[in-house]
Amino acid sequence: MDKVTEAQKKTDPVPRSYRLNDQPVVARPLEPALYLVATPIGNLGDITLRALETLAGADVLACEDTRVTRVLLDRYGIDNRPYAYHEHNATTVGPKLIEALAQGRSVALVSDAGTPLVSDPGYRLGQLAIEAGHRVVPIPGASAPLAALVGSGLPSDAFFFAGFLPTKDKARRDRLTQLQAVPATLMFFESPHRIGATLTAAADVLGDARPASVCRELTKTFEEFRRGGLRELADYYSDDRVVKGEIVLVVGPPAAPEAPSQGDVDGVLIELAGALPMAKAATEAAKRTGLPRKDLYQRLLELKDEG
């Protein structure tokens, strides 16, 4: 990356621009900052106007793969030259990008698809910029996990994105066991070559009937949402089925435990009251049953009155 002085930038005779419907649009100058720009996950029409202006106006544009980003830039007539920043060169290129920020330049970062910092090396650059005292500006847009969640038909009031599961079967099952009781919809990135094995492990650990959705090729021509129980989906994506495209696996939250019957609650209370003071018995019963301590203490009083 060549150094550009403030004087050179002010005398630049060519205004930076992008194109919409074959009409040029001049990009406004950007303030010095690290801009994290979301790009389409498939359909190039999913770019935002703010993202286009940022990509066109940034002094430095960093990306995972210059060839992938060049397709997007060419689509919208952006001449900005992208520089590669990925996991293999992050230790050498990252400091150069931070130096550009220190010089008062604007730096835009994009991933190959979706929102930077979500399962890509952009996290390191964001941390370096924050530690150096530079402003970090998110430019929101497309996100594969959120698109999958919206299309899955599964609960969206609470969700947990867990990235990629381990590739080895035991490690994969151990990780699923850790997430088994998380009271939220789970989301994973997965390879088409491993989706069958992952679904089988998920069905074994999380339960055959736990609802899920395999979300494939999001926003692309062959977009697909296949929904069902984990075992049903595991059987469908067996080893003899050829699967293509990028996948987000969405798994519904665990079913709420059934409330204990009044008889069971009374049995627990009577057992505990025989060994503990009433207040402690109510506290312990609340831990075992998940019911409010106040209600359990009141029930203990009633049982005492009943003899």
Q: What confidence tens digit (pLDDT) does each residue in 106-132 have?
A: 999 999 999 888 767 788 899 999 999
State the Cα–Cα distance between residues 268 and 203, nearest whole angstrom. Answer: 33
State the Cα–Cα distance between residues 219 and 275, nearest whole angstrom. Answer: 62
State residue 9's pLDDT score. 47
Strands 185-190 and 247-251: antiparallel
State the Cα–Cα distance between residues 14 and 72, nearest whole angstrom. Answer: 21
Give backbone dihedrals phi and psi of 112, rounded to 5 degrees, phi first: -60, -35
State residue 143's pLDDT score. 94
Q: What are the tokens at 113?
A: 């698809």
Q: Does the structure show a pLDDT above 60 at 10?
A: no
Residues 241-300 have pLDDT tens digits of 889 999 999 999 998 777 788 888 888 888 888 889 989 989 998 888 888 999 898 988
Q: Which residue has the higher pLDDT, 246 or 306?
A: 246
Q: Does the structure show a pLDDT above 90 at 304?
A: no
Tokens 């952009």 belong to residue: 122
State residue 1's pLDDT score. 55
State the Cα–Cα distance between residues 55 and 68, nearest whole angstrom. Answer: 14
Rounded to a whole number of angstroms, the distance between the first and last alpha carbons of the chain is 85
Give backbone dihedrals phi and psi of 213, rounded to 5 degrees, phi first: -145, 130
The full DSSP string for 166-196 is PSSHHHHHHHHHHHTT-SSEEEEEE-TTTHH
Sign of torsion over alpha carbons 44, 48, 53, 59: negative
Instruction: Give every CB contact of residue 171 below 8 A, 6+ residues apart in sequence.
Output: none
Q: Which residue has the higher pLDDT, 101 or 272?
A: 101
Pair 255, 189: CB distance under 8 Å: no
Pair 199, 234: CB distance under 8 Å: yes
Burial class (CB in 10 A: 0-12, 13-18, 19+), 121: buried
State the Cα–Cα distance between residues 215 and 152, nearest whole angstrom. Answer: 7
State the Cα–Cα distance between residues 101 and 59, nearest whole angstrom. Answer: 10
Residues 167-218 have pLDDT tens digits of 999 999 999 999 999 999 999 999 999 999 999 999 999 999 999 999 999 9
Q: Does the structure show a pLDDT above 60 at 5?
A: no
State the Cα–Cα distance between residues 276 and 273, nearest whole angstrom. Answer: 5
Residues 136-179 have pLDDT tens digits of 999 999 999 999 999 999 999 999 999 999 999 999 999 999 99
Pair 220, 42: CB distance under 8 Å: yes
Q: DSSP secondary-structure letter at 44? A: G
Across the chain, mean pLDDT equals: 91
Q: Does the structure show a pLDDT above 50 at 4?
A: no
What's the predicted TM-score (pTM) here? 0.79
Residues 22-65 have pLDDT tens digits of 999 999 999 999 999 999 999 999 999 999 999 999 999 999 99
Give backbone dihedrals phi and psi of 95, rounded to 5 degrees, phi first: -60, -35
Tokens 């409010």 belong to residue: 292
